[in-house]
Amino acid sequence: MDLPLSDILSAGHLYALTGAVLVGLGLYAFITQRHPLRQLLAVNVVGAGIFLILGSLGRGPDATDPFPQALVITGIVVAVALTAFGAAMIVRQAETRAAAKPAADDNARGAS
């Protein structure tokens, strides 16, 4: 691609490229981080990247295609629900561990 930078940006590729970078960052964090909360955040970054790619697809020169946008909204709803569910499970796990080890202080709970 020997397009000048301004051409790439004006063609609406900026959003898709940013989305691709977010997917890559999120994937990297998902693989390297072990704590479930950090993994959950990493997955959300991947999700945000995908929604950005999907959302940018509907962007036309003068009119916006509503179809990908509708998909993004549904996708965000699903992602929010799953994030809440995952966070609830992580909290429950932390509580169970804290109850099992009453002597453990907050630091140990955070690092588990």
Partner 1 sequence: MSPLDLLVAVPLCCMAAALLLGRAARGLILLAAPLMAGLALWLALLPPDAAYLVGQWELPLGILLRADGVARLMILATALVIGAVGLHALVEPPEKPGHAAQAETFWPLVYLLWAGANAGFLTTDLFNLYVTLEMVSLAAVALAAMGSLAAALRYFMIALLGSLAYLLGVALIVARYDTVDVTLLAQLAEPDLATLMALGLMTAGLLIKAALFPMHGWLPPAHAAAPAPASALLSAIAVKLGFVILVRLWFEAFPAITGPAALQVLGGLGAAAVLYGSVQAMRQDRLKALVAYSTVAQVGYLFLAFPLVAGAIDPGDAWAGMTLQAVAHMLAKAAMFLAAGLMLKAAAGERIADLGGLAQAMPLTVTAFGLAAVSLMGLPPSGGFTAKFLLLTAAIEQGAYLYAGVLILGGLLAAVYLFGALAACFAPATTPRTPVTGGLRTAAPLALAGLAIVMGFGGTALVELSAIAAPWAGPALILPEPAP
**CA-CA distance, 59 to 16, in Å (whole number)?**
11
Does the footprint of partner 1 cover residue 36 (CB under 8 A)? yes
- Helix axes 36-57 and 13-32, enclosed angle (nearest 10): 160
49 close to 30: Cβ distance less than 8 angstroms: no
**CA-CA distance, 91 to 82, in Å (whole number)?**
14
Q: Is 64 helix (H, G, I), strand (E, B) or coil?
A: strand
Restricting to residues 70-99, which ones interact with partner 1 according to CB under 8 A? 71, 74-75, 78, 81-82, 85-86, 89-90, 92-93, 96
Map residues 1-30 to x or -, x wherever contact with partner 1 holds by CB under 8 A: ----------------------x------x
Please identify, using beta-carbon distances, which residue of 4 and 34 lies nearer to partner 1: 34
Residues forming the site for partner 1 (CB under 8 A)? 23, 30, 36, 39-40, 43, 46-47, 50, 53-54, 57, 65, 67-68, 71, 74-75, 78, 81-82, 85-86, 89-90, 92-93, 96
